[in-house]
Structure 1
């Protein structure tokens, strides 16, 4: 493939620089250098503002951009004939926010806006992928989300730009999107991390799940997991979790709503017996004991192999059939719960 600057320069600092570069083109004084980039810059800035405020037709009289003020990745001062804005951009590729980070940035922006009579627009710009649960928490911090598809939609409006920098960035975003969409057209046994992430995002929209993220167990290789539900059995969370392949029946010891004298292994064994006996009664032959039992805060009590719920590893995914099977196993788990136990998803 043709060398791509942003396939090499993948760090967030490089993306910060691109964002600041693109924003600077929106300033009227830069129109004479490249009219297409100037119009794209305006479109980008207005798209950021539109995440918080009604779309304005007013021309941008001044656009000033900088980096690392108050540790903010990118900040933008925008002036029209009637309004002054401050855009605070937290830029992320594949990482997530740090504790208290967005609250501090929002507070810094509020203080600046109060001092200079401006309106604040905080944007969490993400070109990687992040679960909807995580993004919802970001919105609670006062930040609107601007994702990879938002960026692609804007850049694709200006395909004829002669800028190699812009072309490389647009191609890179398309490559990322194609990698995440590839779960639909790739044999199940050939799925990589991006396919699993794309599949989990598909489940978010079409099944409804609790969360998905990267797990780094202390005793093994990392994997992408998805938690499908969060129910309670006698005060203990019980749930289904996809572990980048097998579908696991889990029980949480650490998140219990009650005090217990049971040891972790005793709790695990009791839930396993309930699952095992119900599977036997209902002829759920695909549900079986894991290769080994662990003892921890989150314990696997039974598993369904990937081929039995996802499909033949030599075939492509049948999304409708997979959704149906996952719903079946969620309903099976719910059938094991006392009626008074509350349920999430």
Structure 2
């Protein structure tokens, strides 16, 4: 396999430069000499406009500005339409980042907010919940890795930089989706595969909510959590049981060490949050959980005091088929049953203090 520049050019600045490089081919002057690149640049712009639901726009002029007013990429169409492209690889948007850029454009160019749009262009991974929040912004849409791969499938030329970009994105996608082929009777999941599993869980929980199986008020999300043991990727369910000074939620915790069984590297746990870091809640609540769940749960090796504390580990949280591969939908369905069953203990658990 030949070298791929995007295995080395992994920063957002590199991706900014590549996107601007594509858009430079939009000019009519490149139509004859670089027809494939010119045609794709026009497809790329058309896809952005389609995503933003900007219809019937005749483009007479296109300006591409990189790192202008701290904005990754600013497109100015016909000197009247302003499109902010917030480009991310493996980081996330800072709080209100795009809103701040929108205000800068409105103030600097003297335009109305109706003519300012935002694209969150993400080639890394982001939780469904976070993406949904981003899309709540005015005139704001997302372009995610799978969509970007589909767009680049329209390129018909042989430009090695274009090819490298698409190959690299496909490699990332394949790394994420490889968990679907792991025999978990003999293997465990890599870090990339755990992220891929979480991506698929997002889709499953969205489906279960639409089917009325999962309570709509229970929120789900995932992110990386740092700790002294190397950190882990956690997938957590909020709004399960909330009382005045403490509450319950469930969480999947993935170890950064992948030399154990899948049930050691992906733990589904009962968590207690406590404003007062009250460890006595763990002892009192565990008795109630043991009465209800028996040997389907186990106590962690030790209780640790904190704002977010592990009370019990669910022994069998995954649905693995006869080939040893994960059935994501059935696993999600099983987790929803645990969420619902914990809610049935509300009256008993709210009396721990």
How has the CA–CA distance of structure 1 residues 135 and 318 changed in structure 2, closer, same or farther, with 3 Å as cutoff? closer
Q: Secondary structure at 2:201's aligned position in 1?
A: helix
Give the superposition deviation at 1:117.
10
Give the superposition deviation at 1:291.
1.1
**Does the CA contact (< 8 Å) of 1:49 and 1:87 recur in 2?**
no
Give the superposition deviation at 1:290.
0.7
Q: Secondary structure at 1:228's aligned position in 2?
A: strand
Match of 1:148 in 2: 145
1:114 lines up with 2:110 in the alignment: yes
Give the superposition deviation at 1:265.
0.8
**Does the CA contact (< 8 Å) of 1:286 and 1:308 recur in 2?**
no
Match of 1:164 in 2: 160
Give the superposition deviation at 1:109.
2.2
Q: Secondary structure at 1:140's aligned position in 2?
A: coil
1:214 maps to which of 224, 243, 263: 224
How has the CA–CA distance of structure 1 residues 136 and 117 changed in structure 2, closer, same or farther, with 3 Å as cutoff? closer
Q: Secondary structure at 1:248's aligned position in 2?
A: strand
**Does the CA contact (< 8 Å) of 1:76 and 1:86 recur in 2?**
yes
Question: For residues 250-296 of structure 1, what are the alpha-carbon distances to aligned partners after superposition, in whole Å with 9 as ceiling and x for unaligned?
Answer: 01113xxxxxxx7511222222222122113xxxx221101111111
**Does the CA contact (< 8 Å) of 1:46 and 1:55 recur in 2?**
no
Question: For residues 168-208 of structure 1, what are the alpha-carbon distances to aligned partners after superposition, in whole Å with 9 as ceiling and x for unaligned?
Answer: 00111111111111121123333112211111121111124
**Does the CA contact (< 8 Å) of 2:200 and 2:328 recur in 1?**
no
Q: Secondary structure at 1:14's aligned position in 2?
A: helix
Match of 2:210 in 1: none
Q: Secondary structure at 1:290's aligned position in 2?
A: coil
Give the superposition deviation at 1:55.
3.5
Q: Secondary structure at 1:221's aligned position in 2?
A: coil
Query: TM-score, normalising length from structure 2?
Result: 0.84
Match of 1:103 in 2: 99
**Does the CA contact (< 8 Å) of 1:91 and 1:125 recur in 2?**
yes
Give the superposition deviation at 1:95.
0.2
Match of 1:202 in 2: 200
Coordinate RMSD, CA, aligned: 2.6
Q: Secondary structure at 1:2's aligned position in 2?
A: coil
**Does the CA contact (< 8 Å) of 2:82 and 2:117 recur in 1?**
yes
1:64 lines up with 2:74 in the alignment: no
CA distance in 1, matches of 2:63, 2:242: 56
User: What stretches of structure 2 of length at least 5 have no aligned partner?
Assistant: 207-218, 255-265
Match of 1:259 in 2: none
Aligned residue pairs, count: 323
1:185 lines up with 2:181 in the alignment: yes
Match of 2:289 in 1: 275
Give the superposition deviation at 1:314.
8.6
Give the superposition deviation at 1:329.
1.7
Q: Secondary structure at 1:182's aligned position in 2?
A: helix
Match of 1:35 in 2: 35
CA distance in 2, matches of 1:67, 1:47: 20
Match of 2:338 in 1: 329
How has the CA–CA distance of structure 1 residues 268 and 144 changed in structure 2, closer, same or farther, with 3 Å as cutoff? same
CA distance in 1, matches of 2:127, 2:177: 15
Q: Secondary structure at 1:238's aligned position in 2?
A: strand
Question: For residues 35-87 of structure 1, what are the alpha-carbon distances to aligned partners after superposition, in whole Å with 9 as ceiling and x for unaligned?
Answer: 111111111112212222333363x32222121111001111122xxx83211
Match of 2:213 in 1: none
1:317 maps to which of 299, 316, 326: 326
Q: Secondary structure at 2:95's aligned position in 1?
A: coil
**Does the CA contact (< 8 Å) of 1:214 and 1:224 recur in 2?**
yes
Give the superposition deviation at 1:242.
0.4
